[in-house]
Structure 1
Amino acid sequence: MAATTPICDFGWRAIDARLPATDGKDYSIFECAGPNGLVVAFICNHCPYVKAVIDRIVRDANDLKEHGIGFVALCSNDATTHPADSFENMKVFAGKHGFTFPYLHDEDQSLARKYDAVCTPDFFGFNKHLELQYRGRLDASRKDIAPEDARRDLYDAMVMVAETGSGPREQIPSMGCSIKWKDAA
């Protein structure tokens, strides 16, 4: 079932955590920030919405480096119920798609809960003070890829954040598969 993200809570402060990454290192969320901001993306390996745009996510993450925006992705899905999202499969997914940013495993789902992540993909765009300025979609793609000339919503918003410290007031929510939460103990 598809889920959509809530409206951007401008100024909400990013939350830090240190998590293991697919490259064998541990990263803090904050150390992934660039001098002008940070995108924190909740994704996973199996979601058709993510699969449709993963190459565009990698492209935008790479292009945002030129604007001083860092990028980090997290998988928070329950791998017991969704084995395709296991840490081992995250490593394969990151390698297959040429990730140039840390792909972190939020195994206990604590960071997804603190961020109030809703779906995959779910993008949080922060300015250099790590204040939320964007909570919207990558582009017009859903389960199908948008045309090549589609507006790059996340990229354009984060370039604006890099230049001004503020994001656009009008944002279109991201849509994707719901986070696969673990059963409460």
Structure 2
Amino acid sequence: MAVSPPVCDFGAAWHDFNLPGTDGRFYSLADVAGQRGTLVMFICNHCPYVQSILDRIVRDARQMQAVGIGVVAISANDVEQYTQDGPAHMKDLAERHAFSFPYLYDESQQVARAYGAECTPDFFGYNAAGKLQYRGRFDSSTRTAGPLEARRELLEAMLQIADTGKGPENQIPSMGCSIKWKAA
């Protein structure tokens, strides 16, 4: 079932974390924040919405990083129910796709809850002051990749945030698989 998160809560503060990455290091917000903005994205391995755009995410992340935007990906799914989203599989995915950004595991799901993440992918674009300016979709792709010439909405928004500190007023929410929360 597809889930769409709420629209951007402009100015909402980011949330610190200390999570293990697929490279064996722990990362905090200070480790990943960029001088001109930061993209925090919630993804996972098995979601077809993520799989359909993963190569595009990697491409656009490199372009963002080249202009001083920090990028990090976090997986928070319950790996007891979805073993393919576990750390070993995350490491394999990051290596196969040559991630230029840390891929972190939120085992407790506390970071995902703090951010209000609802689906994979769920994108949170912050300005240099750590204020939310984008919570929209990557592009027009769904469970299948959209056309290669699709408008690069996330990239455009993050470049605008890097230049002006403000995101676009009109944003189309992301769509994806629900975060797989652990049973209470």
TM-score strictly above 0.5:
yes
**What TM-score results when the alignment is normalised by the length of structure 2?**
0.99
1:60 corresponds to 2:60: yes
Question: Is contact 1:29-1:72 (8 Å) kept?
Answer: no
Question: Is contact 1:138-1:153 (8 Å) kept?
Answer: yes
**Secondary structure of the structure 2 residue equivalent to 1:89:** helix
Question: What is the identity percentage for the equivalent residue pairs of Structure 1 and Structure 2?
Answer: 54
1:132-171 aligned at under 5 Å gives the runs: 132-171=132-171
**What TM-score results when the alignment is normalised by the length of structure 1?**
0.98
| Structure 2 gap ranges (5+) | none
**Secondary structure of the structure 1 residue equivalent to 2:93:** helix
Q: What is the aligned partner in structure 1 of residue 4 from structure 2?
A: 4
Amino acid at match of 1:180: K
1:14-33 aligned at under 5 Å gives the runs: 14-33=14-33
Residue 179 (structure 1) shift: 0.1
Distance 2:142 2:70 in 1: 24
**Secondary structure of the structure 2 residue equivalent to 1:13:** coil
Residue 66 (structure 1) shift: 2.1
**Secondary structure of the structure 1 residue equivalent to 2:92:** helix
Deviations 1:64-112 (A, max 9, x none): 0122111000000000000000111111111111111000000010000
Amino acid at match of 1:168: P
Distance 2:168 2:156 in 1: 9
1:118 corresponds to 2:97: no
Distance 2:163 2:53 in 1: 26
| Structure 1 gap ranges (5+) | none
Distance 2:96 2:23 in 1: 13
For these two proteins, the number of residue pairs brought into alignment is 184
Amino acid at match of 1:9: D
Distance 1:163 1:37 in 2: 9
**Deviating 4+ runs (over 2 angstroms):** none
Q: What is the aligned partner in structure 2 of residue 177 from structure 1?
A: 177
